[in-house]
Structure 1
Amino acid sequence: MYIVIIAVLIAIVCMMLPYLFMLFQETNIVRLEKFLSGQRKNPALYLYYAIANKQDEEVGTLIDGLLLKYKHPQRQALYKAIYGAYRKSVSTMKNELIHIQSKQFRCYYETYVHIEEGNMELARATAATVSKPWMKNSVLSEIELRSGNRQEAIQLARQALQSSRGLQRYIVYKNYECELPEALL
């Protein structure tokens, strides 16, 4: 009996490994894009694809569906903050900051609020509290870009890209593809 249970568990783990690798470790953008474009039935994943490819209507529809599906206030706050950042709506992000439980994500979006408001010194101070390298370098790159320091922004963007994996790498790459293509060379 135990052998059957163990065999089933091993089979499940083996089937999940490629999926988990794609979500958290993959660095090949072409493979990530192919994977994400096939996730239409999984709105939480397909949202990454829609945001990265600037599909405004699709992003709105996906966010609405996710907000209906997930009622937990902290999860809703994160989806609303993501949507606020996508639309560059400072008021939406500000309203949701207090509801985001994860310190990393709260500081990340708070930094973006300061950037959008033009308060670069406060943005730098807030960015200093972010410990995930891809997040920190991403917001610091945006600060430098807005401050007119393009070369420094490119360096930080490259560091953000190098330190990101999986879904984060895809979003970072697609963002720089439009805003800072020199960072991808």
Structure 2
Amino acid sequence: MQLNIRRTYLLIEDKSEAAGRRVDTPVRKVAAVVVLENPFVGRYVADLSPLIEASVGLGAMMGDMAVTALGSYQVQGYGKGALVGLNGEAEHASALITTAYANPLREAIGGGKAWISSMVKMAAPGCAIDVPMNHKDDVYVRSHYDGMTIALQDTPMADEIAVVFCMASHGRINARVGGLTHDEVVQRNGAKA
């Protein structure tokens, strides 16, 4: 199946301060968004495998978009989500963000051992989605439990699906609730920080 992409967005946030405390290196969050025509709009389709198969190329494209926007920063956290317009089904959006979609994202960022948190919902144009994020190599790194809220004017239209991939260069600024740390995960995995 060939997906009809209508528009794309890249959102970048650089955060240098929280609760009056500055950090030397800003936390960069990136969201890559692809809005496409829902090929199954307005009808029930039992077999969603064509969407799942098409999502592989979508994941590769969005991974490249997000890595480019991240620039010189390294990925520590990620998350994914999708909004489906009101003439579609949440299952249509879910079909686009399965493991088939996620594996090319991991490849684009150079790995990722943890599952990628996700959120899917039906929405009217301009509705927000909270995309949950976690550490890319271990879901139990509490400092990286975070997210991005995305709302785009006129998105999704009733016959569209908006797919979102988010990445973060660090955990939350001032994170201090304990538990496993990023450095411990890096040391355990023998990976580069």
Specify which structure has the bigger relative contact order, considering alpha-carbon pairs within 8 angstroms and separated by 6 or more residues.
2
User: Which TM bucket (shorter chain)?
Assistant: under 0.3
Task: Calculate the TM-score normalised by the size of structure 1.
Answer: 0.25
Task: Calculate the TM-score normalised by the size of structure 2.
Answer: 0.24
Larger fraction in helix = 1
Q: Indicate the structure (1 or 2) with the bigger Cα radius of gyration.
A: 1
